[in-house]
Chain A
Amino acid sequence: SQQGEEDPQALSIQEGENATMNCSYKTSINNLQWYRQNSGRGLVHLILIRSNEREKHSGRLRVTLDTSKKSSSLLITASRAADTASYFCATARKGSGYSTLTFGKGTMLLVSP
């Protein structure tokens, strides 16, 4: 079973534009993470936000978390063609010892030059 649901399923933008992806989840979590997957490098961890945090930044990435709405968003600013990939949110749920990661179905991002 999959915990998270990303929205939209696919997103197409031009280089330089911002990309926003959303994730909703169902159960209480310890933390939420975002991963990127492209054919060249497999799944790569991008950023982790804990349940007691509301916003986090890493380079061109900005993640927000709203535990009352059980949702998170990932913003990629000034996108580049190299950002083309699938993006997944993953949650570490309470009650699973925190260390089981459950992934959503992903958002496929296409950044055109």
Chain B
Amino acid sequence: EAGVVQSPRYKIIEKKQPVAFWCNPISGHNTLYWYRQNLGQGPELLIRYENEEAVDDSQLPKDRFSAERLKGVDSTLKIQPAELGDSAVYLCASSLWGEQLGALNTEAFFGQGTRLTVV
């Protein structure tokens, strides 16, 4: 079974330029997360989707960050314009959760991440 796939793996851009990350979750997973991880820190949630609905985006800097999850499957995360402080690893994860589905575990499966460097 394929895991969570992210692309690109690495990206170097100049500040003020736009950048986009793509994520393909595990087939059948209804929940998709985007996390940002700074060096030496734990992942910090940016946004969580349940199917195509963003249900937790309180930590997403909405002035420059946007995300979408079309048809409740793949997702893209965009930054426009990028700032030096946006340099980090951006992680996508997916899980299957839902009381109505009988799935009460929230174990998340992570992609390899995209390492963004803004210069």
Residues of the B chain whose Cβ atoms lie less than 8 Å from the Cβ of A103 = 35, 42-44
Interchain CA distance A56-B59 in the complex, whole Å = 32
Q: Would you give the 0/1 interface string for B35-65, flagging 1 where the beta carbon is closer than 8 Å to chain A? A: 1000011111100101000011001000000
| Pair A31/B42 contact, Cβ less than 8 Å | no
Per the bound structure, the CA–CA distance linking A92 and B23 in Å amounts to 22
Give how many A-B residue pairs fall within 8 Å (CB-CB): 65
**What total of chain A residues lie within 8 Å of the partner, measured CB to CB?**
25
B31 touches A99 (CB 8 A): yes
In the complex, are the beta carbons of A99 and B43 less than 8 A apart? no
Is A102 among interface residues, defined by CB-CB distance under 8 A? yes
List residues of chain B with CB under 8 Å of any chain A CB: 31, 33, 35, 40-45, 48, 50, 55-56, 59, 91, 93, 95, 97, 104-113
- Interchain Cβ contacts under 8 Å between A and B, 15 examples: A2-B44, A30-B106, A42-B91, A42-B111, A43-B43, A43-B91, A48-B106, A48-B107, A96-B56, A97-B56, A100-B33, A100-B48, A103-B35, A104-B42, A105-B40
